[in-house]
């Protein structure tokens, strides 16, 4: 009985320590040191949350850069991929549909090489980034939709360059562009 009582006391102590005290301390330090990141890197405009730097979202208008496809329609609960394997007939069909959709939407030639992230959904379904190459393939559509002149097109290309992030620590991952941040800059520059 003494062993059982001791075990219950230890269990309760560590439950309170690791389940209540530790999370409160870590959350408090995060709120003080990194309030924006601790709250999800939310983007607020006119006192309304319009997105997060960390989460992809859908942009269907031809006046904006489009995000990477999502197998979960950009829903945060539950996040995840389709789990379709490389030999899956369904995956092949979905990729072919996405390819045709991307080429058509961006008015590109059928032999245009499309970056893989525009054909395959990410593992989380919430990746907010695309490659600079994928962004460049969308430029002519945006120029045409927004009726931009050649000088404004150069400004648009500069925006892509400014929003291109280097690989993390200069060696992890690839160059990438945050679609939400790029689209917000697009609206700011070309009201």
pLDDT in tens, 96-115: 999 999 999 999 999 999 99
108 shares its domain with 34 = no
Q: Name the residue range of residue 86's domain.
A: 53-189
pLDDT tens track for 179-191: 999 999 999 998 7
For residues 133 and 160, membership in a common domain is answered with: yes
**Residue 61 and residue 6 share a domain:** no
Average pLDDT over residues 21-35: 94
Burial of 49 (C-beta count, 10 Å sphere; 0-12/13-18/19+): exposed
- Provide the angle, in degrees to the nearest 10, between the axes of the packed helices 150-162 and 179-189: 140
pLDDT exceeds cutoff 90 at 36: no
Distance CA 51, CA 14 (A): 37
Verify that 33 and 72 share a domain, yes or no.
no
Q: Give per-residue pLDDT as tens, 69-99.
A: 998 888 888 888 888 888 999 999 999 999 9
Alpha helices in 17-69 (DSSP H): 22-33, 35-38
pLDDT at 43 over 90: no
Peptide bond into 127 cis (omega under 30): no
Could you give the number of structural domains in the chain? 2
């Amino acid at each position: 009985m003494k062993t059982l009582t001791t075990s219950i006391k230890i269990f309760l102590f560590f439950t309170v320590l690791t389940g209540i005290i530790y999370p409160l301390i870590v959350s408090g330090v995060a709120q003080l040191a990194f309030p924006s990141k601790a709250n999800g890197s939310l983007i607020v405009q006119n006192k309304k949350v319009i997105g997060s730097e960390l989460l992809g979202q859908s942009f269907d208008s031809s006046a904006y850069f489009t995000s990477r496809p999502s197998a979960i329609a950009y829903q945060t609960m539950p996040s995840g991929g389709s789990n379709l394997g490389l030999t899956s007939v369904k995956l092949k069909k979905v990729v072919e549909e996405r390819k045709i959709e991307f080429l058509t939407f961006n008015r590109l030639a059928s032999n245009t090489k499309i970056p893989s992230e525009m054909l395959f959904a990410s593992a989380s379904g919430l990746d907010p980034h695309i490659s600079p190459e994928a962004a460049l393939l969308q430029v002519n559509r945006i120029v045409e939709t927004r009726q931009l002149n050649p000088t404004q097109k150069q400004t648009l290309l500069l925006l892509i360059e400014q929003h291109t992030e280097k690989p993390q620590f200069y060696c992890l991952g690839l160059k990438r562009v945050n679609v939400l941040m790029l689209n917000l800059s697009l609206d700011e520059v070309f009201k």
